[in-house]
Amino acid sequence: LLAIVALIATTGIIAVGKKLPSVGYVLVGPENDGGWSMRHSQGFKALENYGYKTSMVESVPEADSGRVFEKLARKNDIVFGTSFGFMKPMVKVAAKNPDTIFMHATGYMGSDNMDNYVCRGYQARYLTGIAAGLLTKTNKIGVVGSHPIPEIVRNINAIALGARSVNPKAEVNIIWINAWFDPPKDGDATKALYDAGNDVLYTTGDIPSVVILAQQKSTPENPVWSMGNDAPMNSFGPNRIATGVIFNWNLLYKHILDNLAAGKLDMGQRYFWGMKEGCAALSPWGLDVPQEVSNHVDTIKMNWINDRQETDGKHWDDLWPFSGGYNKQDGTPVAAGSVDRHQLETMGYYVEGIVPNFPTSGE
């Protein structure tokens, strides 16, 4: 009997002879987009290794998401929505389906049967910003912006804070394309940033255009670096990718489903996992990244994960770099320790070092 109990514990099986909850999930892009939607889909499919059944609807416009949530709620015990724009439609559907659990990624609205979750991508973004600040020769860092929602805004702000922590002359330029997955727009924005002299290129969408261009255009005289997004993108430009942000959603999804299966899922958790939990991480370093750059960033990363305080008193807490104090783009100071999670979730301004003005609702 003890051997059987040990086997159950090690294999991750929750119950024997008991029906596991079924899972429905909605993706804003195609599941093979190479980035955000693909990484979520991989996380859900990993649940099938533990006996969970999943069903998926991909490439769902945010305006049509409510109808899709309704359909999935009729045949699943728990439904996940993986885009910020799914939040308000999910709130309405959750109210009409009280017996179904709903989980929304990157948002902040919830109810008795609807909770939120996010990985702290800004932590890894800050680290990539440090690398960008050390790598740039022109002091110009370019970002292809997807949608100017709070999550993306805080990620870009984290890049700027990281870059300027090691290179005060660094500036961040952004071109918004208002799309998650639009290859032509993404490619045009990438080229425009490169033509404007940005020699470290980021994307916040799901297409590796910046990595491909850096690989094609970089020369010894004018090196160009790129940063991947959401999933490892090293294969698209192994010599000119520096690193990037990757998400391991499978860890969080298994945690939620195992608790639901065991009858221990408490709503209102608002899961906020980060590098310590392994939900957000850096992708592998590119082949040609100078060792002094990777070593510098990896040292900060490990100090952060291991809660090691720096000799100058700096402490890498969960809200860093926003907990350390900074200036907004217009010079308004934000005091150390004054930013909380809600302010991050609703962030609607740029920090110092970002060049373009913050987009208005019509832009």
CB 30 within 8 A of CB 58: yes
Q: Find out whether the peptide bond into 284 is cis, omega within 30 degrees of 0.
A: no
Token code pair at residue 313: 């008193």
pLDDT tens, the chain, 363 aa long: 444 444 444 444 444 447 899 999 999 999 998 889 999 999 999 999 999 999 999 999 999 999 999 999 999 999 999 999 999 999 999 999 999 999 999 889 999 999 999 999 999 999 999 999 999 999 999 999 999 999 999 999 999 999 999 999 999 999 999 998 899 999 999 999 999 999 999 999 888 999 999 999 999 999 999 999 999 999 999 999 999 999 999 999 999 999 999 999 999 999 999 999 999 999 999 999 999 999 999 999 999 998 876 656 667 788 999 999 999 999 999 999 999 999 999 999 999 999 999 997 544
For the chain, where are the alpha helices, taking DSSP H only?
2-11, 36-47, 65-73, 87-96, 121-135, 150-166, 183-195, 209-217, 249-261, 291-305, 341-345
Nearest 5°: the CA angle 171, 127, 200 is: 40
Neighbours of 8 (CB within 10 A): 13
Helix-strand-coil split of the chain, %, nearest 5: 40, 20, 40
CA dist., res. 240 & res. 173, Å (int): 20
Look up tokens 């955000």; give the residue.
36
